[in-house]
Amino acid sequence: MFPTERPRRLRRTAALRHLVAETSLTPDDLVAPLFVGEGLDEPRPISSLPGHVQHTLTSLHDEVRALRDVGVKGVILFGVPVHKDDRGTGAYDPSGIVQIALRSLRDEFGDDVVLMADLCLDEYITHGHCGVLDHHGNVDNDATLELYARAAIVQADAGAAIVAPSGMMDGQVGAIRAALDGEGFVETVVLAYAAKFASSLYGPFREAVRVEILGGGDRRGYQQDWRNRREALREARADVSEGADIVMVKPAMTYLDVVADLRRELDVPVSAYHVSGEYAMVKAAGERGWIDATAVAIEQLTAVRRAGADFVLTYFAHEVAEVLAG
């Protein structure tokens, strides 16, 4: 008996496989997260994110130029300030490190590179939470919104084409949209970290930005419970109704069901953040020779696209784009 179904026919040559491929991954689909340190004389390596550094302004420009030259046209900035305080002032100070970097990058790159700014307080606040604390030591949602609104205006003014609130406060998108519109920044895009889970995969990032959450505390009081799938849709729908232009799922690999849900249920672009822990795991196994790290990275990022994401934030952006660009 001969098989009647012969899917292998379409796998015979590379040209045939390309012809019928359902998903693509190109440098256009990638956004590079970059760290910029205040007061650095030279770039500072981040040990748990091999290949990544806290940039000086000069090395930041060099990196954005190199990314653009391999076709990566989106970057998202995170700041590492010299001083932190209990109000996270550096996040909304016009001369905070990210604002300085944005202005400088805008001057060189104009509209050729999409400049994004992560909008949160944790890198700038002594206790490491994403918002200010009330008298009981809890994160005060509504008091935090006022500071997010200020940060959005300052970032937009400094040159951010996209602001990306990552603190998971209720109403953050609405507060930011209203503040931006009120100051005439009607063109500034809001990319909402809509479904951001209280994951254990953010460890290397916290080393990168030197954030330690007070008392070993965690973010489960505001980030999402990773047992919940429907709730992610509820969060994302709320963000869209408040004016989010793009929604994001974070982390990526363990939440592909959520990416697929958002793609199916919403009309806005969907993105995903392949986070620091996801990068570190692949890199570490690669360094031991246990896997081919770049090949695994391409497989994972393609899977995120297959699940429905339009673009992916990833620490692999540079090296993967180099391979894709051939």
Active site members: 196, 250
Stretch that binds ligand PBG, among 150-158, 198-206, 234-242, 283-291 (CB under 6 A): 198-206
* One character per residue 270-309, x = contact with ligand PBG (rule: CB under 6 A): -----xx---------------------------------
Q: Which two tokens stand for residue 149?
A: 């609104």
Cα separation, 298 vs 293, whole angstroms? 9
What is the rounded distance in angstroms from the CA atom of residue 304 to the CA atom of residue 314? 11
Tell whether residue 152 is a contact of ligand PBG (CB under 6 A): no
141 makes contact with ligand PBG (CB under 6 A):
no
Report the nearest approach of ligand PBG to the CB of residue 200 (Å): 10
In angstroms, the CA 170 to CA 130 distance is 12
Establish if 120 lies at the interface with ligand PBG (CB under 6 A): yes
- Report whether 28 contacts 73 (CB < 8 A): yes
Closest to ligand PBG by CB, 99 vs 184, is 99
195 sits near ligand PBG (criterion: CB under 6 A): no
- N-terminal to C-terminal alpha carbon distance within the chain: 44
d(Cα 213, Cα 177) in Å, to the nearest integer?
28
Q: Which of residues 155-174 bind ligand PBG (CB under 6 A)?
A: 166
Binding range to ligand PBG, per CB under 6 A, among 105-113, 116-124, 132-140, 147-155: 116-124
Measured distance CA(45)–CA(68) in Å, rounded: 22
* Minimum distance from residue 213 beta carbon to ligand PBG (Å): 8
**What's the min distance (Å) between Cβ of 131 and ligand PBG?**
11
- Quick note: the x/- pattern for ligand PBG over 199-238, rule CB under 6 A, is ---x--xx------------x-------------------
Evaluate whether 69 touches 114 at the Cβ level (below 8 Å): no
Strand-pair category, 162-165 with 189-196:
parallel
Give min distance, CB of 52 to ligand PBG, in A.
Answer: 10
* Angle of the 172-182 helix axis to the 141-158 helix axis, nearest 10: 40
The total number of residues written for the chain in this structure: 326
CB nearer to ligand PBG: pick between 113 and 117? 117
CB 233 within 8 A of CB 261: yes
Residues that bind ligand PBG (CB under 6 A): 118, 120, 122, 166, 202, 205-206, 219, 275-276
